[in-house]
Structures are given as C-alpha cells and as structure tokens.
Amino acid sequence: MIVTLEEMKQYLRVDYEDDDQLITGFITTAEQLCRDVLRIDGEADLSADGKVKTAVMYAVAYFYEHREEADHHELTLTLRSLLFGSRKEAF
C-alpha cells in the first residue's frame, strides 16, 4: 500500500481502532481507483509519483467523510484533475 493505515488515521484524525478495517478497505479502493484513472495495471508501483499518494489520501478522506452518499463521478473527475499529468494515453 502506498499509504499506511497509521498515516491515514493521522490524516483523518481518527484515534480509535473501530474503523481500522473500514479505512483499510478505503485505502485499497482508492489505490485501485487511482490505477484506473492513471490507466496502469494492478501490479504497477504507485509510489514513484508523489501526486498519487496525495490523490489516494484525498480519495480515502472523501470515502470516509461521504460514506452514506458518496458521488463517485465527482470523485473520479477530481482524481483525473489531480493525476492528469501522470495519466497514460491508453491502457
């Protein structure tokens, strides 16, 4: 994982363990979403680009804050804007 659970909990200001599994799932989902936006395969290393870590943390925070009513289209457009310079032209 490009972002650890502890880093993400600190970023979200969560100091209890009740949501650890939820946050871990959000990290995995956010990384896959960033791979999809970047048009890279599942095994590619995301840590080479510093913008990707920021995008993953943003996505996890969005998922965490909007658990009940997340707008995935809006999130995807935001991630495309953040990662546009690193995005491959095709798969």
pLDDT per residue over 53-91, tens digit each?
Answer: 999 999 999 999 999 998 999 999 999 999 988 877 765
CA distance 19 to 9: 9
CA distance 84 to 7: 25
Question: Is 37 part of a structural domain of the chain?
Answer: yes
Give the Cβ contact number of residue 3 at 10 Å.
22
In the numeric block, which tokens belong to residue 43? 């095994």
Residue with tokens 């997340």: 70
Contact 55, 85 (CB under 8 A): no
Q: Report the pLDDT value the prediction gives residue 86, as an integer from 0 to 100.
A: 81
CA distance 49 to 10: 21
Task: Quote the domain boundaries for residue 64.
Answer: 5-86
Question: Is 91 part of a structural domain of the chain?
Answer: no
pTM of the model: 0.88
Q: Report the pLDDT value the prediction gives residue 91, as an integer from 0 to 100.
A: 57
Q: Give the count of domains, the chain.
A: 1
